[in-house]
């Protein structure tokens, strides 16, 4: 059984621009609006600190939405994403992404049911790296236009060595080091508000990440093993650190959108080998996660 406290925590109490920037926070505010009213007295500072740190430390994918920093969709003008049983297990989350001529995301709109919850625009530098994520619409504060900025440093052969994310008065830093032969970083250090954890990564010959180990100090806190199909899509994810050794079931999880410690993924593809449906298979169950419509 999974207790996903990540989603109840996403009530859009007006705490800070960072909380409002995440589109799934707006969705959760609709789903559990009554809980929002009951929790108006939560201390803003402690609430923000907890939510922000939780997002950073769990490194989850916020439902099944695309990663605008790494995913490109050449020859696609628009992508409609419908999520079914990801974060919050809510049917009704829909996102529309718009792309430039090189396949980079330049705009996104996020809906719950038919209601627009948030819209964003994205800016890139001359290297193609994301430098601004601009909230241009927020249903909870229609006059708000927040901007998350991204800054980078490079080594002598132009590899990114640090990425700093600036949102409001907060900043989060990722430091990349120990590069392999394909220039993939083996060590990634994450720092936020005097809290740090380190990821150690292994890659296959195609540069795909196949092992991720997370350390807090000297303690190993999470391990994930990953496999891919011939199209480069993840088909296997095993996080043994999430298994309860006494029961053999998944431990109660705070944060994230996993269904089980060992998940396999099955896809349907169109004639261009782009996946159009994604299912998760776990504990003798098969669940539809997402549909994609390319235009």
Q: Tell me, yes or no, whether 174 lies in a domain.
A: yes
**pLDDT tens, position by position, 225-251:** 999 999 999 999 999 999 998 898 888
Task: Give yes or no for residue 283 having a pLDDT over 80.
Answer: yes
| Bridge partner residues of 281 (DSSP) | 264, 286
Q: Tell me, yes or no, whether 215 lies in a domain.
A: yes
Q: Tell me, yes or no, whether 2 lies in a domain.
A: no
3-state secondary structure of 33: helix
Closest Cα to residue 122, out of 163, 157, 70, 186? 70
Give the pLDDT of residue 71.
94
Give the pLDDT of residue 253.
63
Give the pLDDT of residue 251.
85
Interior/surface letters 72-85, b for 16+ CB within 10 angstroms, e for the rest: ebeebeebebbbbb
More confident residue, 86 or 172: 172
**pLDDT tens, position by position, 163-193:** 999 998 899 999 999 999 999 999 999 999 8
Give the pLDDT of residue 11.
27
Which range among 27-36, 135-144, 146-155, 260-269 shows the weakest confidence by mean pLDDT? Answer: 27-36
- Residue span of the structural domain in which 216 resides: 8-294
Backbone angles phi, psi at 10, to 5 degrees: -90, 15
Task: Give yes or no for residue 209 having a pLDDT over 80.
Answer: yes
Find how far residue 35's CA is from the centre of its chain: 24
The model's confidence at residue 28, banded by pLDDT at 50, 70 and 90, is: very low
In order, the DSSP letters of 153-182 are: EE-TTS-EEEEEEEETTEEEEEEEEEE-TT
Range 159-167, long-range pairs (CB < 8 A, 24+ positions) = 159/183, 160/129, 167/17, 167/18, 167/21
Q: Tell me, yes or no, whether 3 lies in a domain.
A: no
3-state secondary structure of 32: coil
Give the pLDDT of residue 254.
58
In this prediction the pTM is 0.79
The model's confidence at residue 92, banded by pLDDT at 50, 70 and 90, is: confident
Q: Tell me, yes or no, whether 1 lies in a domain.
A: no
Is residue 134 a contact partner of residue 122, using CB atoms and an 8 Å limit?
yes
- What CATH number corresponds to the domain at position 99? 2.40.160
Q: Tell me, yes or no, whether 223 lies in a domain.
A: yes
Give the pLDDT of residue 256.
62
The model's confidence at residue 55, banded by pLDDT at 50, 70 and 90, is: very low
**pLDDT tens, position by position, 112-157:** 988 999 999 999 999 999 999 999 999 998 777 899 999 999 999 9
Give the pLDDT of residue 255.
54
Residue 56 region by backbone torsions, left for phi larger than 0, else alpha for psi between -120 and 50, else beta: alpha
d(CA 284, CA 286): 7
Instruction: Count the Cβ atoms, other than its own, within 10 Å of residue 258.
Output: 20
What total number of domains does the chain contain? Answer: 1
Task: Give yes or no for residue 194 having a pLDDT over 70.
Answer: yes
């Amino acid at each position: 059984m999974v207790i996903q406290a990540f989603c109840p925590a996403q009530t859009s109490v007006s705490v800070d621009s960072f909380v409002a920037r995440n589109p799934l926070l707006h969705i959760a505010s609709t789903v559990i609006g009554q809980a929002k009213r009951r929790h108006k007295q939560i201390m803003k500072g402690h609430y923000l600190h907890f939510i922000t740190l939780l997002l950073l430390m769990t490194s989850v994918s916020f439902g099944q939405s695309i990663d605008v920093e790494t995913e490109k969709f050449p020859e696609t003008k628009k992508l409609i994403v419908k999520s079914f049983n990801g974060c919050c297990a809510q049917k009704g989350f829909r996102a529309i992404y718009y792309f430039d001529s090189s396949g980079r995301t330049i705009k996104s709109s996020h809906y719950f049911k038919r209601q627009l919850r948030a819209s964003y625009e994205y800016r890139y530098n001359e290297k193609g790296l994301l430098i601004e994520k601009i909230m241009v619409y927020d249903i909870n504060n229609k006059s708000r236009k927040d901007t998350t900025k991204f800054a980078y440093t490079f080594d002598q052969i132009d590899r990114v060595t640090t990425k700093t994310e600036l949102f409001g008065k907060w900043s989060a830093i990722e430091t990349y080091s120990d590069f392999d032969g394909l220039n993939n970083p083996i060590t990634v250090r994450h720092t936020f508000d005097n809290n740090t954890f380190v990821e150690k990564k292994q890659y296959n010959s195609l540069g795909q990440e196949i092992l991720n180990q997370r350390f807090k100090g000297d303690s190993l806190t999470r391990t994930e093993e990953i496999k891919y199909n011939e199209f480069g899509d993840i088909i296997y994810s095993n996080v043994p650190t999430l298994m309860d050794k006494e029961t053999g079931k998944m431990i109660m999880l705070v944060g994230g959108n996993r269904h089980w410690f060992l998940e396999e993924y099955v896809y349907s593809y169109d004639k261009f080998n782009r996946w159009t449906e994604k299912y998760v298979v776990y504990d003798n169950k098969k669940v539809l996660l997402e549909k994609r419509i390319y235009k």
